[in-house]
Structure 1
Amino acid sequence: METVWVIINVLVLLMLTGILYWMQKKHFSFTKRVFAGLGLGVLFGAILQFIYSAESDVIAESSQWFNLIGYGYVRLLQMMVIPLIMVSIISAIMNLKGGRNLGKMSGLIIAVLILTTGVAASVGIATTLTFNLSAENIQAGAAEHEQGLLLEEKLGDVGDQTLPQQILEFIPSNPFADMTGERKSSTIAVVIFSAFIGIALLGLDRKQPEQAETFRSMIRALYAVVMRMVTLILRLTPYGILALMAKTIASTDLQVILDLIDFVLASYVALIVMFIIHMILLLLFRYNPMVYIRKALPVLTFAFTSRSSAASIPMSVQTQNKKLGVQEGIANLSASLGATMGQNGCAGIYPAMLAVMIAPTAGIDPTDWTFILTLIVVVMISSFGVAGVGGGATFASLIVLSTMNLPVALAGLLISVEPLIDMGRTALNVNGSMTAGMITGRIMKEVDEEVFKDRNQDIDIMQT
């Protein structure tokens, strides 16, 4: 009988994907289809949990089939991370004539990303202390205990490395191995390798212009192909979100979420506060925050639902360039770097909150200023090389907790609410990278004010 119910559940999911396909054929906007997928997934998941239970065998088996769509979509996103970052970095650098202002541009973007991550860590610390959160008050179930053991296993050799050794790991010794994601720091290593290719190409312009132009043509063609592949995958977003949300809601124990509701609320308070700080920064650099929010909302919505900063790169670049008036090279660089370092949500707020919560279990006073200042610095440094896909926040937390000599296993206590919080963290990550691009564009006077003020701009990457 269970098999019959599983088949029915799968057929209902397919019917819901059919609704989304119908919306696509009727030319509903991408944003509307994403929200429709989100809403249908939540509703379907809630109905499944009401009919069965989170621990039901029917739910477990149905989820296996849901994963074909949900995690199949996630794997396609992960497939494109390295190619996307490589072509974006190389293209951004090679489009700078003669390397004009490359150092200043890169320096400004990285500075904004890392400094705002430090601010985000401070916000996370303050919020955790205000809500009086502590890992000592969280009860661990079997799933949480298993996740804790898994985190300790993932830590591997990282816990035995000093901070200088961890920084040294960013430099690639075998870039082709890093393209396979062999190391935890592979993403930032690919960024560095790609930057060297772009800089070398600029030097080749002066000495061997014909060869340089040939290579430029190859990169332009590769860039076009990669972006087309990304667009094809992004069109699957509503379907992926539908399956992911249905599986997540159906298999999540609501009581566990209620037990951790203080942490969920505190996390979103911290995320909202940091978003407001981003808006204040834009205001200080003479941007109208309301105009920015209206134009950036589709990108932030996509980041929220997809939970992938890297997958948001194409939409981020187009929005910055076509809607907000930021020069294309700056937009490319800020979106790409923002997906690999200085992520305010995943690498800033989250690790800082975990460290403060776990500190009392190790006999450390989380209100001690030495601890707080050290934590902020560690968070800023460790924010380099955090991959912009699912799991980035976990890796950042492992680095921070191990560097601060805190038990990493306790981070597994929050596994039940991870997906719920990760959506908000990812949206903040992407907003931070766009803020870095906007500020850099203003300082370098590379912003088209007419484009920014134009209220008729409506760029939809799904139509390109």
Structure 2
Amino acid sequence: MTVTFTIINIAVMLLLIFGLFKLQQKHVSFSKRVFFALGLGIVFGLALQFIFGTGSEVIIGTIDWFAIIGSGYVKLLQMVVMPLVFISIVAAFTKLKLSKNIGKISALIIGILVGTTAISAAIGIGTTLVFDLEAVQIQAGEAETARGEEIETRQVEVETLTIPQQILSLIPANPFLDLTGARPTSTIAVVIFAAFIGVAYLGVKRKEPEVAESFAKLINTLNTITMRVVTLILRLTPYGVLAIITKVTATSDYESIAKLGKFVIASYVALGIVFLVHLLLLSLAGLNPITYVKKVLPVLTFAFTSRTSAGTLPLNVKTQSEELGVPTGIANFAGSFGLTIGQNGCAGVYPAMLAIMIAPSVGINPLSPSFIFTVILVVAISSFGVAGVGGGATFAAILVLSALDLPVALAGLLISVEPLIDMGRTALNVSGSMTAGILTSKVTGELDTAVYVEPKQTVGV
């Protein structure tokens, strides 16, 4: 019987995919198809859980098959991340778009990412205090205890890395290894390697222009082909979103979510306020925030459902360059740095909220101005250091809590709602990187405001 129900569920999924395909044939806009897929996935996932129950053999078997579409799509995006980053940045040098101000661009992007993360920490602290959240309010079960022990084990690994060692980990000792994405810091290492290639190209261009011209043609050809591959993969976005959100809604533990509803609501309030800060910064730069929201919603939707900033990178870069008027080189720098430095959600809001929640359990007054200032400072610094240990909310939390001498195991109390919160955190991380790209382009005078203003439907078509 289990096999029969699984086959029926697969048939329903294929029918929904066919419906999305027909919408594409009718030239329904990419954004509408993505949101329609999101809605279908929520309804289908809830229906599966209501009929079969969480953890049933039917659900497990069905989701396993659905992963071919959802996880398969994410893997295709991850496949093209490194080629996209490397080729696009080198191509920016061959087109003379990064030759004069690469240092300024890098400093601006990192400064905006870390600065907005400090703001995110302050907002996370304020939200936690307003909602009166404390770790002692949460009961620890077997899963929470096991998660706490796992975090304590990781703490040992994190504490062995000094800040100089974290910085050294960004430098590519073997660029070919990093092109495979083998290390947590591979993306930034590839950015650095590509920048060296670009600078070398500029030197060769002055001495041997014919050789440089041949190299530029090769890179530009590879860049065109790579972007075409990205476009082909992005066409699958609605189907990927459908499968991914179906899995999320079908397997979520809604009883645990309800018990920790106060923390979930507080988290999303904080994340929402930080997103408003992004819009405010764009407004102060003389850009229409509504235009930004309309153009980035498909990107944030995918980031939200997939919970992967790396997988979102191709869509992130393509949207910045084709919809928001950001030069490809800057878009790649912002997107790549944003994967591991200054993540507003994972390295800003989340660890700050945890620090304030846990502080009372060890006799620290969370309302103390000196403690609040210390938390913000530690979060800002750690948001850069996260790159050395692989990124992610867990590592960010370990870094911050360890620096503040707070028990890291208590971070495991939120394991049951971790996936739900992580969806919003990932979307905010991506928005932060895109905001950094736009603001940097605006400051350096390279933002194509005509492209930013014009409504276009180029991404994913």
**How many residue pairs were aligned?**
459
- Any idea what SS the aligned residue of 1:430 has? helix
Q: CA contact under 8 A between 1:93 and 1:102: conserved in structure 2?
A: no
CA separation in 2, counterparts of 1:244 and 1:97? 37
Asked if the contact 1:96–1:102 (Cα under 8 Å) also holds between the matched residues in 2, the reply is: no
- After superposition, the Cα gap between the structure-2 partners of 1:391 and 1:36, relative to the gap in structure 1 and judged at 3 Å, is farther
- CA deviations over 1:177-209 (Å, ceiling 9, x no partner): 333343333333233222222222223322333
Structure-to-structure mapping, 1:15-164, within 5 angstroms = 15-96=15-96, 99-155=99-155, 157-164=157-164
Q: Secondary structure at the match of 1:461?
A: coil
Distance 1:117 1:342 in 2: 6
1:124-161 CA distances to partner (integer Å, 9 max, x unpaired)? 12212221222222223344444444444455622222
Task: State the alpha-carbon separation in 1 of the partners of residues 84 and 182 from structure 2.
Answer: 17
**Counterpart position of 2:330:** 330
Q: Secondary structure at the match of 1:366?
A: coil
Paired letter, 2:381: I
Q: Which 5+ residue runs of structure 2 have no aligned equivalent?
A: none
Counterpart position of 1:179: 179
Query: Greater shift after overlay, 260-269 or 343-352?
Result: 343-352
Answer yes or no: is the 8 Å Cα contact 1:318–1:459 preserved in 2.
no
Secondary structure of the structure 1 residue equivalent to 2:55: coil
The farther-off stretch of 397-406 and 281-290 is 397-406
> Corresponding residue for 2:243?
243
Question: Which letter does structure 2 place at the counterpart of 1:268?
Answer: Y
In 1, distance between residues paired with 2:79 and 2:143? 28
CA distance in structure 1 between the aligned counterparts of 2:321 and 2:166, rounded to whole angstroms: 35
The Cα of 1:119 is off from its aligned counterpart by: 1.0
Give yes or no for contact 1:159–1:403 (8 Å, CA) kept in 2: no
Contact conserved, 1:322 with 1:459, CA < 8 A, in 2?
no
| AA matched with 2:265 | L
Among all aligned residue pairs of Structure 1 and Structure 2, give the percentage whose two residues are the same amino acid: 56
Aligned to 2:344: 344
Would the alpha carbon gap of residues 201 and 405 (structure 1) be closer, same or farther in structure 2, given more than 3 Å must change? farther
Change (3 A) 1:448 1:193: closer
Secondary structure, counterpart of 1:384 in structure 2: helix
The reply to whether residue 2 of structure 1 matches residue 2 of structure 2 is yes
Q: Is the 8 A contact 1:268 1:424 kept in 2?
A: yes
Structure 1 stretches of 4+ moved >6 Å: none
Residue in 1 that maps onto 2:458: 460
Q: Partner of 1:232 in structure 2?
A: 232
Q: Distance in 2 between matches of 1:213 and 1:413?
A: 58
> Hey, what's the Cα distance between the residues in 1 that align with 2:83 and 2:156?
27
Q: Which residue of 1 aligns with 2:284?
A: 284
CA contact (8 A) 2:184 2:391 kept: no
Q: Identify if the C-alpha distance between structure 1 residues 361 and 314 changes in structure 2 by more than 3 Å, giving closer, same or farther.
A: same
Equivalent in the alignment of 1:447 = 447
For 1:417-456, what aligned pairs fall within 5 Å after superposition?
A: 417-454=417-454
Structure 1 residues not aligned, in runs of 5+: none
Per-residue Cα deviation, 1:37-92 (whole angstroms, up to 9, x for no partner): 21111111111121122132322232222222222222223323322222233333
- Name the SS of the counterpart of 2:460 in structure 1: helix
Whether contact under 8 Å (2:97, 2:329) holds in the other structure is no
Asked whether the 8 Å contact 2:81–2:313 carries over to 1, the reply is no
Q: Aligned in 2, Cα 1:396/1:197: closer, same or farther, shift over 3 Å?
A: farther
Query: CA separation in 2, counterparts of 1:147 and 1:323?
Result: 41
Alignment-mate amino acid for residue 412 of structure 2: G
Post-superposition Cα deviations, 1:216-257, rounded to whole Å, max 9, x if no partner, equal 233223322332222222222222222222222122121111
